């Protein structure tokens, strides 16, 4: 755990924000997200909205953000499609043909980088790029497979195996769909989205961030992506990750800061210090007693969670759920 004696909106020049589960869920705004982001902007922090979703264009993402109360322009949006297009433009000559197994977001990103999107293997593309599209057809996947088998470079916009469903049941994501071409050809794709470094690199280039803070709700994409990019991170609990999952995370999935929601950008984050074999944060102390962590004290439950996290993360090996559940129940989180 890190500490900050200033609000994070003042300590970091750019917040690299995940979208679904952080700013909105589906098309519904996360409570207080718009207000918190407006205050962060007023404090001088720049905001960038970073998404693994390759199906939407930056214009579409900006429009959705605006409808949930967060004014945004296309220039504020960084997508995995843009990261994929940059990687391809750095490896291929200008004007090269790229077979697109995906939607308009990918096509626009390729055009912007001087590449030529195509749809059939008969055009002998130099590369195949695949991104999520809910209307993806078998025929287009088959064309991509044919081109990869013929030697085309294979790039995937992101490797998320699932995406949230409107009914709460996960749906297959691009990572699952990538396995079709991978299985058919034996060729593994280069993945550019979170948690891989290309999307983080794209975000830094587009924002010019000198001290970025990654803000997200997923350990395996947002927090691991920050870890891979060497950036600090803030985990919020408005999306898929709950406190138990955070406490039992391995090293690459451990955030720098914890907060209930985006209001965590607006406040200082107190120090967790070692205290007589335990870990103390404001009014709470967490210490190991045999194979369990015991939490004592009172005050803000998130200060208790910080102390508990420091104890749970004392070793590289993830703590077992049984070691932290009792202490976590005491916080009411």
Domain with residue 227: its CATH number is: 3.40.50.1000
Element at 47 (helix H, strand E)? strand 46-51
Residue 65: inside a domain: no
Quick one: pLDDT band at residue 171, thresholds 50, 70, 90?
confident
Average pLDDT value for residue range 201-230: 97
Residue 285: inside a domain: yes
Q: Residues near 247 by Cβ (< 8 Å), separated by ≥ 6?
A: 305, 308, 309, 312, 313, 319, 324, 328
Residue 133: inside a domain: yes
Q: Are 281 and 272 in contact (CB under 8 A)?
A: yes
Cβ count near 28 (within 10 Å): 8
State whether 96 and 177 are in the same domain.
yes
State whether 23 and 110 are in the same domain.
no
Q: Which of 161, 191, 221 is the last residue of a domain?
A: 191
- Model-wide pTM > 0.85: yes
Q: How many domains does the chain have?
A: 3
State whether 128 and 170 are in the same domain.
yes
Q: Which of 165, 191, 217 is the last residue of a domain?
A: 191
Query: How far, in Å, CA of 137 to CA of 297, rounded?
Result: 57
> What pLDDT, in 10s, does the model give residues 54-104?
989 999 999 999 999 999 999 999 999 999 999 999 999 999 999 999 999
Measured CA distances, 146 to 4, 81, 85, 168 (Å): 52, 22, 21, 35
205-215 as b/e, with b when 16 or more CB fall inside 10 Å?
ebbebeebbbb
Residue 102: inside a domain: yes
> What pLDDT, in 10s, does the model give residues 298-323?
999 999 999 999 999 999 999 999 99
> What pLDDT, in 10s, does the model give residues 97-143?
999 999 999 999 999 999 999 999 999 999 999 999 989 999 999 99
Residue 68: inside a domain: no
Q: Residues near 108 by Cβ (< 8 Å), separated by ≥ 6?
A: 57, 81
pLDDT of 132 reads 92
> pLDDT above 70 covers what percent of the chain?
99
> pLDDT above 90 covers what percent of the chain?
91
Q: Above 70 in pLDDT, residue 17?
A: yes
Query: How far, in Å, CA of 152 to CA of 315, rounded?
Result: 43
pLDDT of 166 reads 66
> What pLDDT, in 10s, does the model give residues 180-198?
999 999 999 999 999 999 9
Q: What are phi and psi of 84, to 5 degrees?
A: -65, -40
Q: Which of 266, 286, 306 is the last residue of a domain?
A: 266
Q: Which two tokens stand for residue 14?
A: 């750019």
Residue 62: inside a domain: no
State whether 141 and 225 are in the same domain.
no
Q: Given the DSSP bridges, would you call strands 77-79 and 116-118 parallel, antiparallel or unpaired?
A: unpaired
State whether 176 and 207 are in the same domain.
no
pLDDT of 26 reads 80
Query: How far, in Å, CA of 24 to CA of 280, rounded?
Result: 33
Length of the chain measured in residues: 333
Query: How far, in Å, CA of 235 to CA of 299, rounded?
Result: 21
User: Would you call 133 a catalytic residue per the annotation?
Assistant: no
Average pLDDT value for residue range 258-271: 98
Q: Above 80 in pLDDT, residue 168?
A: no
Residue 70: inside a domain: no
- Check 5, 13, 18, 289 and give the catalytic one: 18
State whether 262 and 235 are in the same domain.
yes
pLDDT of 276 reads 87
Q: Are 199 and 52 in contact (CB under 8 A)?
A: yes
Residue 59: inside a domain: no
Q: Which two tokens stand for residue 16?
A: 């690299």
Q: Are 125 and 97 in contact (CB under 8 A)?
A: yes
State whether 48 and 121 are in the same domain.
no
Q: Which two tokens stand for residue 177?
A: 């769909």
Range of the domain at 314: 273-331
* CA neighbor of 202 nearest in space, from 48, 83, 91: 83
Cβ count near 196 (within 10 Å): 22
State whether 96 and 172 are in the same domain.
yes
Mean pLDDT across the chain: 96
pLDDT of 164 reads 72
Residue 100's beta-bridge partner residues?
A: 129
State whether 179 and 85 are in the same domain.
yes
User: Would you call 20 a catalytic residue per the annotation?
Assistant: yes
- Check 5, 13, 20, 300 and give the catalytic one: 20
> What pLDDT, in 10s, does the model give residues 152-165?
999 999 998 888 77
State whether 182 and 103 are in the same domain.
yes
State whether 88 and 182 are in the same domain.
yes
């Amino acid at each position: 755990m890190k500490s900050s004696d200033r609000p994070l909106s003042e300590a970091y020049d750019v917040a690299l924000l995940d979208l679904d589960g952080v700013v909105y869920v589906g098309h519904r705004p996360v409570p207080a997200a718009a207000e918190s982001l407006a205050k962060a902007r007023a404090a001088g922090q720049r905001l960038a909205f970073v998404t693994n979703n390759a199906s939407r264009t930056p214009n579409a993402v900006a429009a959705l953000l605006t409808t949930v109360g967060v004014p945004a322009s296309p220039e504020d949006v960084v997508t995995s499609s843009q990261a994929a297009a940059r990687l391809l433009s750095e490896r291929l000559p200008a004007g090269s043909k790229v077979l697109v197994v995906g939607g308009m977001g990918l096509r626009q990103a390729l055009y912007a980088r001087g590449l030529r999107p195509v749809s059939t293997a008969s055009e002998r593309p130099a590369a195949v790029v695949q991104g999520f599209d809910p209307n993806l057809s078998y025929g287009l996947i088959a064309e991509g497979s044919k081109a990869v088998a013929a030697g085309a470079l294979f790039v995937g916009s992101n490797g998320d195996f699932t995406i949230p469903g409107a009914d709460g049941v996960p749906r297959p994501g691009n990572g699952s769909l990538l396995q079709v071409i991978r299985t058919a050809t034996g060729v593994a794709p280069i993945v550019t989205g979170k948690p891989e470094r290309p999307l983080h690199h794209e975000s830094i280039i587009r924002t010019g961030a000198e001290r970025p803070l990654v803000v997200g709700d997923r350990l395996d994409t947002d927090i691991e992506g920050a870890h891979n990019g060497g950036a600090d991170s803030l985990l919020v609990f408005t999306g898929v990750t709950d406190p138990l999952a955070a406490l039992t995370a391995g090293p690459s999935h451990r955030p720098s800061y914890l907060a209930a929601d985006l209001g965590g950008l607006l406040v200082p984050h107190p120090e967790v210090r070692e205290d007589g074999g335990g870990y103390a944060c404001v009014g709470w102390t967490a210490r190991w007693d045999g194979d369990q962590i015991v939490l004592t004290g009172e005050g803000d439950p998130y200060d208790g969670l910080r102390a508990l996290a420091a104890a749970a993360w004392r070793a590289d090996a993830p703590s077992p759920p049984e070691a932290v559940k009792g202490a976590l129940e005491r916080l009411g989180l």
